[in-house]
Amino acid sequence: MKFGVLQFPGSCDEVDALGAARRVGDAELLWHGARDLKGADAIVVPGGFSYGDYLRAGAIARFSPAMESVIAFAGDGGIVLGICNGFQVLCEAHLLPGALLGNANRRFTFRQVELDVVNRDTIFTRACTAGERLSVPAKHSWGRYYAAEDTLAAIERSGQVVLRYAAGENFNGSLNDIAGVCNEAGNVFGLMPHPEHAVDELTGSTDGLRIFESIRLSVEGVRV
Amino acid sequence: MSDTPGAVVAPSAEDALALGLSRAEYELVCEKQGRAPNRVELAMYSLMWSEHCAYKHSKKLLRTLPTEGPHVVMGPGENAGAVDVGDGLACAFKVESHNHPSAVEPFQGAATGVGGILRDIFAIGARPIAVLDSLRFGEPSSARTRYLLDGAVSGIAHYGNSIGVPTVGGEVYFEGPYEQNCLVNAMALGLAPRERLMRSAAAGPGNVLVLFGASTGRDGIGGASVLASAELGQPDADAEAGADRRPTVQVGDPFEEKKLLECSLELLQQGLLVSLQDLGAAGLTSSASEMASKGAVGIDIDVAEVPLREPGMEPFEVMVSESQERMLCVVEPANVEAVMRLCRKWEVSGAAIGEVTDSRRMRVLVAGELVGDMPVSALVDDCPLYDLQPAEPTGQLYPTPPPVLRADATPREMLLCLLSCPNLASRRPLFERYDAIVQSRTVRRPEQADAAVLAIHPLGSGPPAGAGPTGARAAAGTASAAGAADPVPAIAVSIDGNGRRVAADPYRGTIAAVLECASNLACVGAEPLATTNNLNFGNPEKPHIAWQLSESVRGLGDACRALHAPIVGGNVSLYNEGASGPIYPTPVIGMVGRLPDARRAGRLGFANDGETIALVGPFAPALQAGELAKLRGEPLVGKLAEIDLKAVRDAQLAVRDAVRAGGLSSAHDIAEGGLAVALAECCLAGNVGAEVEIGPSFWQKSPSEQRSPSGAPARPSVEPVAPGVVALFGEGPGGFVVSGSPQALRELGLRTLVRPLGTVGGDVLRIATDGPQEAVEATLAELTEAHGALWELFA
């Protein structure tokens, strides 16, 4: 299978995402100014500070030509993963419910966090075991997940909450300890922690590979 | 005498004095010009002949430092030094200060300090892979300190995080003498294929000078001369200190720099540039004239072609502006359009602003009309260099710190007080604000080991060896960048500098700082390759400061020679004085090393219950100028003990080899707070206790104890300490706390002094001594609480 990793001016973790994706499949970078997704089976919107995060995190990137194609791709059921800034971009693009607000501790925080997989019946978590806990680093200033009350109730009801911060790990103050959510159709997923930075034992954890491996299984399962 | 170009009213000698030149220097400028300089020329001379650009009080000393060695690829004189790290790669690195800007406006001062050092790295064609920072503030009990600390940390985080370069290490000390004049030093490292390293010498008359990046504004005008090369004067005791100088501080935009970085590296990768130089202090003036000087050519710049941020800027303002995020390159005429195309791709502006000439003159034009004309050599090389007039001070230079510990405190109280004091408490509240892992190289993060460890090749750079891309399994625990059998080559980096020790003894204190860097590298299994340094001192025109500076540089040279870690670059920051006196003399040392296999990189935390703990190396503890002495309110007088450089180096090599062989579960350098604090740090990092006895064998083999059984020499006028306190809390170079198997420790003992101390296990640290006092005992919870003392500063 092939991943396409978007690259905006100000992206920082796109090469890391590319490397993580290449552990399970082919992957290439997709320039923000081009509409061609080059036949990718899954799109990763990476972390960083797209367009300097000026105006509001993700607010400018969502209007890029590449994102126009990603929005259409997602509408056709294409698999889209947004990490950190990518999660913010997907929320700004209304591909995912809710929004990311400033951290409750009011500052950029880098911390290895424990995540509970609360729905493993998704495209992005099917390689996880029941009740699995993932150790993945988080690093952001604007990661406090927020959604209006009725939206929150709806995504909880429909199983769109995929990952939660384990007890005591929710430093950013996300509602319901939400660390990652998918859309109603289940083909678009965003999370604030960085699975692409937990793919090698030398960095302390390989748990992030579960997410990429799940996507590969989903893509190849569809094809077979 | 030739006509003075562009002159309306020629500036006077008094104008020159106001810009920081001396009367004699102004007369020398007139002589070099053959006439009085006009306004543009005088502005340019005043910057190029400032301490900051010309190193006029330090250059003669710096020439005594060792700069050559087998690993050196690029030595001092370029934007950064570089060493060979294997696999065809060179590691470029350098430390620089941004002290006065940070004292005036800490957020932007620190942010642009990071931006500036990063540009130095990519100017030579290396992709920045890591930032470290070295900070000094007054005591955190002061509101001004807390304001400066929070601003500087926020600024470093803002810039480093946003540009995608990890901040992997650093250090911070809090001491009264930095209260008005904080220090913000930033170090950066980058990697490049060896053959693609870029030099900055301009070449090829007729070639085009292209300025690219941000537009040029009025920010930072006079930064190098007015701000960086003078004392800070009489500041108010609040956050408004230096408010009148705030316009000379530059404003940083990491997004612009991120684009500039990617654009610069792609320009170099495509082979479109003849040379490249960043714009830092003194802006276009410094960059262009230094490029011309190195290439023995001339340069014409037409300021009318420079993209401006605001209208109506004077030619001299364009030439001296320190607007951030700009680069200057030399391009063959045929490649100019390709360069502009890449600039458009990365959304940075590019403009042809001049050309290389064979005149060896720096000429400034406005739409073709000459407004400044100077010999390049006069600007760059002819600033007079001054001999220092050093004199060792006779009295006590620095005020005695107020006591924090009672004179009759127990050793347990001393340990908990040390762990919670600002200089030793956990730095987690600071480093959690930095992204330490972007770029997928970071094998050891802060508080995991004594030095940061970075894989030379990104860890995410491919599937496990032997597995095809689509068939790759990615089972947890088996995935590594290379096959399981292949070593993962890495570099290690450390930054250190204890100003209080240097204040007590500039020569030995500086040696101790260099040794500590090398010991930190040894603890992760790395051999030193080369060194960078930032010399932060007071006003060198004062004899006692001149003495500190020359003694410190002598120590730096001796230590680097002994370690075979030559100096490949650095920076000098003088005039660090406020109304209340000079800072502690603070040479900040950055050292880069190499280790063959990151999979065996050392850790500092105890790991396995039942393993043996040992004290390794020729450690000779003394309380002199140490952290306990400060907490006890002792004056800073008397020299440090003599250091046996060879014995310390032998111990470092032995520890390094043991770590590489995989025999040690942990290795930690003994630093501030001595052995007891080092043991506590190993317990905290491993979240496990330890049972330790400092018995007769320790006393027999501790040289300083033998020399002076009642404590360190020259410790005046304070209550004598109980025997055992020196062993517990005394400091000195060459000591390590390690843990491992008895077999590994026996092997280590064949190469250096190894004194077994006890065993890892439990959830209590217990240190028994054979002295009369009771054992020191503290639970992990108590240690953790004490060590977390800095959190309240960031609540």
Residues in B closer than 8 angstroms to A110, CB to CB, are 431-437
Residues in A closer than 8 angstroms to B254, CB to CB, are 49, 52
**pLDDT of A120-151, one tens digit each?**
999 999 999 988 999 999 999 999 999 999 99
Task: For each of the domains in chain A, give its residue range(s) and CATH number, in order of start.
Answer: 2-223 (3.40.50.880)
Q: Cβ of B480 and A200 within 8 Å?
A: yes
Q: Cβ of B439 and A15 within 8 Å?
A: yes
Task: Looking at the complex, report in whole angstroms how far the Cα of residue B431 sits from the nearest Cα belonging to chain A.
Answer: 8
B247 SS3 class: helix
CA distances from B250 to B53, B110, B120, B222 (A): 17, 10, 17, 10
pLDDT score for B7: 54
- Least CB–CB distance from A109: residue in B347, B432, B478: B432
**pLDDT of B540-587, one tens digit each?**
999 999 999 999 999 999 999 999 999 999 999 999 998 889 999 999
Residues 6+ apart with CB under 8 A from B428: B446, B447, B788, B790, B791
Q: Rounded to an integer, what distance in angstroms lies between the CA atom of residue A81 and that of residue B762?
A: 44
Q: Rounded to an integer, what distance in angstroms lies between the CA atom of residue A80 and that of residue A71?
A: 9
Task: Looking at the complex, report in whole angstroms how far the Cα of residue A123 sits from the nearest Cα belonging to chain B.
Answer: 17
What is the average pLDDT across A55-68? 90
Contact in structure between B517 and B589 (CB atoms under 8 Å): yes
**pLDDT of A15-61, one tens digit each?**
999 999 999 999 999 999 999 999 999 999 999 999 888 888 888 98
Best CA proximity match to A26, nearest among A43, A8, A11, A4: A4
Using the predicted structure, report yes or no on whether residue B223 has a pLDDT greater than 60: no
Residues of chain B with pLDDT > 90: what percent? 78
Q: Cβ of B442 and A24 within 8 Å?
A: no
Q: Rounded to an integer, what distance in angstroms lies between the CA atom of residue B453 and that of residue B446?
A: 10
Residues in B closer than 8 angstroms to A194, CB to CB, are 437
pLDDT-wise least confident of A104-108, A143-147, A182-186, B514-518: A104-108
Of all residues in chain A, the one with the smallest CA distance to B465 is A23
Contact in structure between B766 and B777 (CB atoms under 8 Å): yes
pLDDT score for B80: 92
Q: Cβ of A16 and B259 within 8 Å?
A: no
Q: Which residues of A touch B (CB under 8 A)?
A: 1, 9-13, 15-16, 18-20, 22-26, 48-49, 51-54, 107-111, 137, 139, 194, 196-197, 199-203, 206-207, 209-210, 212-213, 220
- Which residues between 531 and 570 in chain B have a beta carbon less than 8 angstroms from any beta carbon of chain A? none
Residues 6+ apart with CB under 8 A from A130: A120
Q: Rounded to an integer, what distance in angstroms lies between the CA atom of residue B452 and that of residue B521?
A: 9
Best CA proximity match to B786, nearest among B697, B673, B690: B673
Q: What are phi and psi of B565, to 5 degrees?
A: -125, 75
What is the average pLDDT across B387-403? 92
Residue B243 pLDDT level (bands cut at 50, 70, 90): very low
Q: Cβ of B164 and A12 within 8 Å?
A: yes
Q: Cβ of A110 and B470 within 8 Å?
A: no
B547 SS3 class: helix
Using the predicted structure, report yes or no on whether residue B709 has a pLDDT greater than 50: no
Tokens 């600002």 label which residue? B422
Using the predicted structure, report yes or no on whether residue B472 has a pLDDT greater than 50: no
Task: Looking at the complex, report in whole angstroms how far the Cα of residue B475 sits from the nearest Cα belonging to chain A.
Answer: 8
Q: Cβ of A110 and B253 within 8 Å?
A: no
pLDDT score for B136: 97
Residue B475 pLDDT level (bands cut at 50, 70, 90): very low
What is the token pair recorded at B422?
Answer: 């600002």
Q: Cβ of A25 and B433 within 8 Å?
A: no
**pLDDT of B418-454, one tens digit each?**
999 999 999 999 999 999 999 999 999 999 999 999 9
Of all residues in chain A, the one with the smallest CA distance to B347 is A9
What is the average pLDDT across B599-621? 96
Task: Looking at the complex, report in whole angstroms how far the Cα of residue B268 sits from the nearest Cα belonging to chain A.
Answer: 19
- Which residues between 428 and 457 in chain B have a beta carbon less than 8 angstroms from any beta carbon of chain A? 431-440, 442-443, 455
**pLDDT of B34-70, one tens digit each?**
999 999 999 999 999 998 888 899 999 999 999 999 9
Contact in structure between A16 and B458 (CB atoms under 8 Å): yes
Residues of A serving a catalytic function are 84, 194, 196
pTM of the predicted model as reported, rounded to 2 decimal places: 0.92
Share in percent of chain A as helix, strand, coil (round to 5): 30, 30, 40
Q: Per mean pLDDT, which of B504-518, B625-639, B707-721 is the most reliable?
A: B504-518
Contact in structure between B755 and B701 (CB atoms under 8 Å): yes
Residues in B closer than 8 angstroms to A16, CB to CB, are 438-440, 458, 460
Q: What are phi and psi of A112, to 5 degrees?
A: -75, 125
Of B52, B100, B544, B787, which residue is the catalytic one?
B52
Residue B199 pLDDT level (bands cut at 50, 70, 90): confident
Using the predicted structure, report yes or no on whether residue B482 has a pLDDT greater than 50: no
Residue B5 pLDDT level (bands cut at 50, 70, 90): low
Residues 6+ apart with CB under 8 A from B96: B113, B116, B117, B120, B185, B186, B187, B534, B571
**pLDDT of B770-779, one tens digit each?**
766 678 999 9
Average pLDDT, chain B: 89
pLDDT score for A12: 95
- Least CB–CB distance from A16: residue in B259, B460, B469: B460
Share in percent of chain B as helix, strand, coil (round to 5): 35, 25, 40
Helix residue spans in B595-707 (DSSP H): 627-631, 645-661, 674-686, 696-700, 703-707
Q: Cβ of A202 and B481 within 8 Å?
A: yes
Residue B225 pLDDT level (bands cut at 50, 70, 90): low
Chain A within 8 Å of B118 (Cβ-Cβ)? no
Q: Cβ of A26 and B470 within 8 Å?
A: yes
Residues in A closer than 8 angstroms to B463, CB to CB, are 22-24
Residue B794 pLDDT level (bands cut at 50, 70, 90): confident
Residues in B closer than 8 angstroms to A209, CB to CB, are 474, 476, 479
Among this protein's residues, is B52 annotated catalytic?
yes
- Least CB–CB distance from B474: residue in A110, A194, A209: A209
Q: Cβ of A52 and B432 within 8 Å?
A: no
Q: Cβ of B258 and A9 within 8 Å?
A: yes
Number of Cβ within 10 Å of residue A192's Cβ equals 31
Using the predicted structure, report yes or no on whether residue B246 has a pLDDT greater than 60: no
